[in-house]
Amino acid sequence: MTPPIVERALALAAARGFTRSCMAEVGALLHVLAARRGILRPGEIGTGCGVGAAWIVSALAPGVAFFTAEIDPDQAAATRELFAQDEAVTVLSGDWRETLPLEAPFDFLFLDAAKQRPDLDGEATLALLTPGATIVLDDLTPGRTGTDPVRDFWLTHPDLVATELLLTPKSAAIVAVKVKA
């Protein structure tokens, strides 16, 4: 069943013509991972219209604070309004590189913006995570040939254990756990 807050986030995205929300398959993965015992500091890079955030927060234990960063101020304001009834949700307006480190470390992170250049942002993203934290990246193309800096970074980093999951015939995700400080 799709949680009501996810339905509202999807409606917001439709109303705003925003087409980059995460797929339901990704949402279901986020929902399951967010529901695990012990998740106390979840976050997200790239709020969009709050669809991924809604999948996450609808699975969190009551009162667990959630932080999501969005660089587009209009988008951040609209999504802040979406979650206005949930005081555990904070939508941070601005570049995640400036906003999220102030709320770190996170024990669960959905990386959904600025992920194409791990040579620039990968280590800064890792620095947001506490040891044992889980990070999820979506939108990988299955069977892609040639070099892939995203896979190279997140699947082979010595501080991570990681795997790639096929979510649909055309889309895969990486789930990784930080195993070193």
Ligand X SMILES: C[S@@+](CC[C@H](N)C(=O)[O-])C[C@H]1O[C@@H](n2cnc3c(N)ncnc32)[C@H](O)[C@@H]1O
Q: Which residues bind ligand X (CB under 6 A)?
A: 20-22, 44, 46, 48, 51-52, 69-72, 75, 95-96, 112-114
Name the residue nearer to ligand X (CB basis): 91 or 160: 91
CB of 44 to ligand X, least distance (A): 6
Judged by beta carbon, residue 60 or residue 71, the one nearer ligand X is 71
Quick one: 18 or 153, whose CB is closer to ligand X? 18
Minimum CB–partner distance for residue 68 and ligand X (Å): 8
- Amino acid (one-letter) located at 126: L
3-state secondary structure of 137: strand
83: helix, coil or strand? coil
Query: How far apart, in whole angstroms, are the C-alpha atoms of residue 31 and residue 57?
Result: 8
Least Å from the CB of residue 60 to ligand X: 15
Q: Which is nearer to ligand X, 98 or 148 (CB)?
A: 98
Point out the residue whose Cβ comes nearest to ligand X: 52
Closest separation between CB of residue 119 and ligand X, Å?
16
Nearest partner of 51 among 35, 73, 29, 74, judged by Cα:
29
Burial of 168 (0-12, 13-18, 19+ CB in 10 A): exposed
C-alpha dihedral, 119 to 121 to 124 to 125, nearest 10°: -110
